[in-house]
Structure formats: C-alpha cells, structure tokens
A and B are shown apart, each in its own frame.
Chain A
C-alpha cells in the first residue's frame, strides 16, 4: 500500500514552460486535493476533486489546471510557468468523510523552482 505518490520530487522550469505534476493514490479515496506551500507559510488549496470527472477551484487556482479521469489519479498542470509558482506542491487524498478517516493522507511533495 503506497498511499499517495507524487512525481517528480524536484523540478526546475524556465519561465513560460509547461509541466504536469503527477499524483496517484491506491487507497480508493474519493476526494483528492492539490496544495502549495510557500516558505514560511501554511498550505494553500489550489484545486480539489470529490470524485472522477469532478473538479473545483480552491483558494489559489490561477495558473493551474487539473483533471480527474480516474479515482486514482489527479494530475496538476502548469501551462505557462511563472516565478510566482516556485513552491512545494502537495497532493492529498481522503475518503471524504473526515470524521471517519482522520483527515488527509499527503504525498511527499514536489519542489518546483521557476527561473
């Protein structure tokens, strides 16, 4: 049981380049989330999904896109990378009933630097 797996762990992008951050979970969780964490800050929600085919914006969605074609996968797409997107990105998942499942399971993160 791998939990939540994120790839890559590290990436350097040039301004204007595109990339996809991959996230997959093997716990059959319905809900999945993407957060970003800037130095000295808490986590901010980018996008989330309550099931395959359903996505919705979080607090800071600009510059990102997501898709949820399967229960397991929730990729995050950066179309035109900007220095402001330099951050550590965390994917998380949950059953969707927090009271029963004690919160989210997080991946180990992707550290992205845009230069």
Chain B
C-alpha cells in the first residue's frame, strides 16, 4: 500500500462523529485555499476550496473555515464515514503566483473507527 502518511499526525474518529482537521498556512499573500483528500495509492482529489474574501464555505458534509488573521484553515467533516479514511492536505496559492503554483501542507491522516 501507499507509504505516504507513515509519520503524519493522525486523527482517529468514531464513525458518525464530526471530524475537524486543522492547517496553518505560511504566506500572508495567499488568497486561494484548497483541501485535498488522498486515499491510499491514489493522487489527491479536490474536496473544497475557499477564497480569501470568505471566511466559511460549505459543501456536501464538509465545511471549510478560514481565519486570515492567524493564517489558519480548518476542514470539518460531518457524520464521518469509513470512506472518509484518508490523508487530507491543505494547499495555498495566490492569483499573483506564477503558474498558479500550489504550496501543500504536511497532511493529516484520518482514521475512522467503526
């Protein structure tokens, strides 16, 4: 299986509970943020994004919160399911960044207990 995530922080959550994954970003000029989900053996998949002119955005069972003052992002997953077990990454960029390059955080592994 995929060795990514061997040394990542791990969040263990009971099935049906809510999960909160946190991310601190570094660049105060960043104005666009994305959360990705990476399942074992696969590439990252887009979950939800948020622009810097917003502080909250909701999707299906997921909510992203952005606090620009302390440069912090969080991803909330409601009613966590076994299929949510994966590694989650936040990524940041700015419209001024050449090539729209994304800078990724270190990731958090989520383990859902039945």
Q: How far is the CA of A72 from the CA of B101 in the complex (A)?
A: 19
For A104, the chain B residues whose CB sits under 8 A away are: 44, 46, 102
Q: How far is the CA of A86 from the CA of B21 in the complex (A)?
A: 29
The answer to whether residues A96 and B4 also contact, given A42-B105, A43-B44, A103-B34 and a CB cut-off of 8 A, is no
**Interface residues in A73-92 (C-beta closer than 8 Å to B):** 88, 90, 92
**Closest beta carbon of chain B to A34's beta carbon, Å:** 11
Contacting pair A99 B6 (CB below 8 A): no
Q: Tell me the nearest residue of chain A to B109, going by C-beta.
A: A40
A3 and chain B: residue at smallest CB distance: B43
Taking A40-B5, A48-B99 as contacts, is the C-beta distance between A98 and B93 under 8 angstroms? Answer: yes
Contact, CB under 8 Å: A94 / B89: no
CB-defined contacts of B49 to chain A, threshold 8 Å: 98, 102-103
Q: How many residues of B contact A (CB 8 A)?
A: 32
A-B pair number, CB within 8 angstroms = 84
A: number of interface residues (CB 8 Å): 33
Would you call A39 an interface residue if the criterion is a C-beta within 8 Å of the partner chain's C-beta atoms?
yes
Q: Mark B53-85, 1 if CB is under 8 A from A, else 0.
A: 000000000000000000000000000000000
Residues from chain A with Cβ under 8 Å of B11 in the complex = none
Q: Is the interface of A mostly helix, strand, loop or mixed?
A: strand
A41 x B106 contact (CB < 8 A): yes
- List chain B residues, Cβ under 8 A from A26: none
Q: Say how far A21's CB is from chain B's closest CB, in angstroms.
A: 13
Judged by a CB distance under 8 angstroms, whether A7 is at the interface is no
* CB nearest neighbor in A for B3: A39
Chain B interface residues toward A at CB < 8 A = 2-8, 32, 34, 36, 41-46, 49, 51, 89, 91, 93, 95, 98-107
Give 10 nearest A-B pairs by CB, closest first.
A40-B7, A106-B43, A42-B104, A43-B104, A103-B34, A48-B99, A39-B3, A39-B6, A42-B106, A103-B46
